[in-house]
Amino acid sequence: MALLEVDDLHVSFKTTDGIVQAVRGVSFQVDAGQTLGIVGESGSGKSVSTQTIMGLTRGAQITGRAMFEGSKDLLTLPLPEMRKIRGAEIGMIFQDPLSSLHPYYKVGWQIVEMIRQHDKDMSKKQARARAVELLKLVGIPQADRRVDDYPHQFSGGMRQRAMIAMAMSLNPKLLIADEPTTALDVTVQAQVLAVIKTLQEEFGTAVILITHDLGVVADVAENVQVMYAGAVMEKADLRTTFFANHHPYTEGLLLSLPAYGGERERLRPIHGQPPSLISLPPGCPFAPRCDYVMDRCRTETPPLASVGNDATHLSACWLPHDVAARNELRRKVTGEPLPAQAEA
Amino acid sequence: MNAETTATAPEPAAGDDVLLRIENLVKYFPVQSSSLFRRDREFVHAVDGVSLEVRRGQTLGLVGETGCGKSTLARCVLRLFNLTSGRITFDGKDISKLKPRQMRPFRREMQMIFQDPYGSLNPRRRVGSIIGDPFAIHKTATGQERKRKVQEVMELVGLNPEHFNRFPAEFSGGQRQRIGVARALAFRPKLIVCDEPVSALDVSIQAQIINLLADLQKELGLTYIFIAHDLSVVRHVSNTVAVMYLGKVTELAPVDDLWARPRHPYTDALLSAVPVPDPDKAGQRERIILAGDVPSPISPPSGCRFHPRCPKAAPTCVEKDPVLEPRLGDEANHLAACHFPVEDGEDISKARPTISAEDRVIESGLLGSA
Residue B10: inside a domain, yes or no?
no
Looking at residue B277, its pLDDT comes to: 84
Residue type, B295: P
Query: Same domain, yes or no, for B188 and B262?
Result: no
Looking at residue A104, its pLDDT comes to: 93
Subunit contact B274:A257, Cβ cutoff 8 A: no
Query: Same domain, yes or no, for B230 and B284?
Result: no
Distance of CA A109 to the CA centre of its chain: 29
Query: Does B78 score more than 70 pLDDT?
Result: yes
Residue of B nearest to A200 (CA): B366
Looking at residue B131, its pLDDT comes to: 93
Nearest-angstrom CA–CA distance, A71 and B258 = 55
Q: Which residues pair with A91 in a beta bridge?
A: A175
Tens of pLDDT, residue by residue over A291-324, are 899 999 999 999 999 998 888 999 999 998 888 8
Considering its fold, how many domains does chain B have in total? 2
Between A146-160, B282-296, B341-355, the lowest mean confidence (pLDDT) is in: B282-296
Chain A CB contacts of B287 under 8 Å are 190, 194
DSSP reduced 3-state for B231: helix
Query: Same domain, yes or no, for B76 and B173?
Result: yes
Query: Same domain, yes or no, for B217 and B296?
Result: no
Query: Does A61 score more than 90 pLDDT?
Result: yes
Q: DSSP of A184-228, one letter per residue? A: S-HHHHHHHHHHHHHHHHHH--EEEEEES-HHHHHHH-SEEEEEE
- Over range B15-22, report the average pLDDT: 85
Nearest-angstrom CA–CA distance, A191 and A181 = 10
State the DSSP code for A322. Answer: S
CB B111 within 8 A of CB B191: yes
Query: Does B361 score more than 70 pLDDT?
Result: no
Q: DSSP of A111-128, one letter per residue? A: HHHHHHHH-TTS-HHHHH
Query: Same domain, yes or no, for B120 and B266?
Result: no
Chain A CB contacts of B236 under 8 Å are 258, 261, 263-264, 267
Strand order in the sheet with B59-63: B110-113, B191-195, B223-227, B59-63, B240-245, B248-254, B335-336
Tens of pLDDT, residue by residue over B221-246, are 999 999 988 888 999 999 999 999 99
Subunit contact A187:B275, Cβ cutoff 8 A: no
Last residue of a domain, one of B238, B266, B293: B238
Kindly provide the b/e burial profile for residues B31-69, where b requires at least 16 CB atoms within 10 angstroms of the residue's own CB: eeeeeeeeeeebbbbbbbbbebbbebbbbbbbbbbbbbb
CB B91 within 8 A of CB B110: no
Q: Where are the alpha helices (DSSP H) in chain B?
A: 70-77, 100-107, 127-137, 143-156, 173-185, 203-220, 231-237, 255-260, 265-273, 279-284, 315-319, 365-369
Q: Read off the pLDDT band of B350 (50, 70, 90).
A: confident
Task: Compare CB distances from A186 to B229, B294, B363 and report the shortest one's residue.
Answer: B229
State which residues form the domain around B303.
245-369
Tens of pLDDT, residue by residue over B132-147, are 999 998 888 888 999 9
Residue type, B346: E
Query: Same domain, yes or no, for B150 and B209?
Result: yes
Looking at residue B283, its pLDDT comes to: 67
Q: Read off the pLDDT band of A264 (50, 70, 90).
A: low
Query: Same domain, yes or no, for B327 and B219?
Result: no
Q: Read off the pLDDT band of A50 (50, 70, 90).
A: very high
Query: Same domain, yes or no, for B213 and B302?
Result: no
Query: Does A134 score more than 60 pLDDT?
Result: yes
Query: Does B38 score more than 80 pLDDT?
Result: no
> At what angle are helices A124-137 and A156-168 packed, to 10 degrees?
130
Query: Same domain, yes or no, for B127 and B272?
Result: no
CB B63 within 8 A of CB B229: yes
CATH architecture classification, A4-221: 3-Layer(aba) Sandwich (3.40)
Query: Same domain, yes or no, for B69 and B156?
Result: yes
Tens of pLDDT, residue by residue over A222-235, are 999 999 999 999 99
Residue B11: inside a domain, yes or no?
no
Residue B2: inside a domain, yes or no?
no
Query: Same domain, yes or no, for B276 and B327?
Result: yes
Burial class (CB in 10 A: 0-12, 13-18, 19+), A309: exposed
Q: Read off the pLDDT band of A263 (50, 70, 90).
A: low
Domain A225-343 grouped into CATH 3.40.120.10: no
Tens of pLDDT, residue by residue over A207-222, are 999 998 898 999 899 9
Please report, for the domain that includes residue B213, its CATH number: 3.40.50.300
Residue ranges per domain, chain A?
4-221, 225-343
DSSP reduced 3-state for A30: strand
CB A205 within 8 A of CB A18: no
Q: Read off the pLDDT band of A189 (50, 70, 90).
A: confident
Tens of pLDDT, residue by residue over A7-47, are 999 999 998 888 999 999 999 999 999 999 999 888 899 99
CB A235 within 8 A of CB A313: yes
Between A265-269, A282-286, B164-168, B321-325, the lowest mean confidence (pLDDT) is in: A265-269
Q: Assess B284–A contact: CB distance below 8 Å, yes or no.
A: no
Subunit contact A219:B65, Cβ cutoff 8 A: no
Tens of pLDDT, residue by residue over B45-63, are 999 999 999 999 999 999 9
Nearest-angstrom CA–CA distance, A218 and A222 = 8
Residue B28: inside a domain, yes or no?
yes
**Mean pLDDT of all residues belonging to chain B:** 86
Looking at residue B16, its pLDDT comes to: 66
Query: Does B2 score more than 50 pLDDT?
Result: no
Subunit contact A185:B65, Cβ cutoff 8 A: yes
